[in-house]
Amino acid sequence: MTIAGNKDVRVRFAPSPTGYLHVGGLRTALFNYLFARQQGGTFILRIEDTDQKRCVEGALDNLISTLNREGLHYDEGPEKGGDYGPYIQSERTEIYRKQAEELLAKGHAYHCFCSEERLEELREMQRRLRKPPMYDGKCRTLSSEEVSRNLHDGIPSVIRLKYPKEGRVVFDDVVRGRVAVENDIIDDQVLIKSDGFPTYHLANVVDDHLMKISHVIRGEEWLSSVPKHIYLYQAFGWELPVFVHLPLLLNPDRSKLSKRQGDVAVESYLEKGYLPEVIINFIALLGWHGPDDRELYTLEELEKVFTLDRINKAGAVFDIEKLNWMGGIYIRKSDVAYIADRAKPYFEAAGIDTGDREKYLKVIAVAREYVFCLSRIVDHARMFYGDVDLTDEQTKLAGEESAQRIYAFWMEALKKRKTWTKDEVNELIQQGIATLGVKGKNFYFPLRLALFGNTHGPDIPTLIDILGTDEAIRRMEACIV
């Protein structure tokens, strides 16, 4: 159902700028974007860079340019602005500090002065006892005098959430349904670190509220953080957003998608020349399906049909075979000129001059039949440029007596005219077969070898059409021994 212009729908993609855009990140961005567009709402980009150690120089520019290349244009965010900025968390630290003060004042948070060594010992002990690592609450009960004294003495401290130890929290997630979690497994999360920066949890909740986020759509790995977030919303007296946790992305062996089993950076797929629209189409189907079993969608089509209720609960396998299948379909169904333009950088990198546009378009029309991404197109096109290099075995085949007679026939025939239509070349083929008494692969293989450097490939009229009469003759001449 489309709710025309539902201005209250405000969603955000909130990545940490750690270098490249993970395919899972693109999926989160895409689902947020699609939901916003389908609902007529607002799509926001917010940069969560409070963990300064993890931030990488240039990552923000890269992120924005990758989102743009994929067509996921945001309505509010860095560089673009909006009414709820700044949209970069490191520029909002004062806001988080104030909110943390409020939690302290209301008794929902406390100062913790435990040293790193103590925390490490605690974790070590818990590891030995096979217990989950958790803060033991030592500083929960410090008196206000002790806290003041420690602060006055400059003992390094963090601010922790005073999470209740009893009871359970129950909440609804659009994908997971009703979720219940026992409170005693929830840690007293650090909210403000000793360097004064907030952790993800505090900054995320504060910003989602201040930026009026209506739906929190993100990966399933964040589901376990929801109880802490809910507690924060309640402590501040704020309304909860709707939670939507997207299913995990999996390797083909159903383990969690990882770098070790293949590429996970969107940029590297773009570099290989997977069309941006293929990546979008493929990613859209990772954990979502349309109203029927249709598989091919443009971004515009997805913007119309996307709904949250068709997001699956089960993990979605990142199947590279399927991506490649889709890649080939798009490359073949797109405009030849469009593919030619996008493929050009790969030809330039290979040192191939594509200046003869007419020839280049013909080459692309043939070469694209064999590929699923543009970087591979050069391998199926280079034989139309420069010289044909034959292997020893191929040279032997070309040197055979019947092959030599075939070349002589063609050189003689082609010399008669400057241009030949495909029908005319087909007629020559018939004549050649009749005159030389050679047929089938004995006729075609040597011919294709001379013209194309391979016994298999495009048909002879196509090859002669692309190469032109002169070049076709030159190539056969080169095979004469």
Residues annotated as catalytic (active site), given as ranges = 259
> Could you count the other beta carbons within 10 Å of the beta carbon of residue 354?
17
Residue with smaller CB distance to ligand GLU, 229 or 368: 229
Q: Reduce the DSSP state of residue 63 to 3 states and report it.
A: helix
Q: Which of residues 374-403 bind ligand GLU (CB under 6 A)?
A: none
Q: Is 47 left (phi over 0), alpha (psi -120 to 50) or beta?
A: beta
Residue with smaller CB distance to ligand GLU, 245 or 362: 245
Q: Going by DSSP bridges, is the β-strand pair 158-161/10-13 parallel, antiparallel, or unpaired? A: unpaired
- The C-alpha atoms of residue 135 and residue 158 are separated, in whole angstroms, by 12
Residue with smaller CB distance to ligand GLU, 90 or 375: 90
Residue with smaller CB distance to ligand GLU, 204 or 281: 204
**In sequence order, which residues have a C-beta less than 8 Å from that of residue 324 and are 6 or more positions away?**
372, 373
Instruction: Say which residue the tokens 């699609």 belong to.
Output: 34
Q: Binding-site residue total for ligand GLU (CB under 6 A)?
A: 8
- The C-alpha atoms of residue 124 and residue 475 are separated, in whole angstroms, by 74
Single-letter amino acid, residue 396: K
Q: Which of residues 180-209 bind ligand GLU (CB under 6 A)?
A: 200, 204
Segment interacting with ligand GLU, rule: CB under 6 A, options 9-17, 244-252, 330-338, 390-398: 9-17
Q: Is 14 in the site for ligand GLU (CB under 6 A)?
A: yes
Q: Which of residues 208-247 bind ligand GLU (CB under 6 A)?
A: 218, 222
- The C-alpha atoms of residue 253 and residue 234 are separated, in whole angstroms, by 41
Write a three-state SS string for 143-174: CHHHHHHHHHCCCCCEEEECCCCCCEEEEEEC
Min. distance of Cβ 49 from ligand GLU in angstroms?
9
Min. distance of Cβ 25 from ligand GLU in angstroms?
7
Of positions 9, 15, 74, 330, contacts ligand GLU by CB under 6 A:
15
Residue with smaller CB distance to ligand GLU, 49 or 465: 49
Instruction: Please give the DSSP secondary-structure letter assigned to residue 317.
Output: E
Segment interacting with ligand GLU, rule: CB under 6 A, options 14-22, 272-280, 306-314, 354-362: 14-22
Write the CA distances from 222 to 73, 193, 302, 332, 367, integer angstroms: 24, 20, 25, 39, 44
Q: Which of residues 30-49 bind ligand GLU (CB under 6 A)?
A: 48
Segment interacting with ligand GLU, rule: CB under 6 A, options 8-16, 172-180, 185-193, 449-457: 8-16
**In sequence order, which residues have a C-beta less than 8 Å from that of residue 177 and are 6 or more positions away?**
none
Question: Token digits for 113?
Answer: 């002065």
- x/- binding map, residues 145-174, to ligand GLU, per CB under 6 A? ------------------------------
Min. distance of Cβ 183 from ligand GLU in angstroms?
21
Residue with smaller CB distance to ligand GLU, 54 or 333: 54
Write a three-state SS string for 115-132: CHHHHHHHHHHHHHCCCC
Residue with smaller CB distance to ligand GLU, 231 or 407: 231
- The C-alpha atoms of residue 76 and residue 130 are separated, in whole angstroms, by 45
Question: Token digits for 425?
Answer: 């070349």
Segment interacting with ligand GLU, rule: CB under 6 A, options 10-18, 122-130, 330-338, 384-392: 10-18
Of positions 16, 62, 189, 199, contacts ligand GLU by CB under 6 A:
16
In the complex, which residues of this chain contact ligand GLU (CB under 6 A)?
Answer: 14-16, 48, 200, 204, 218, 222
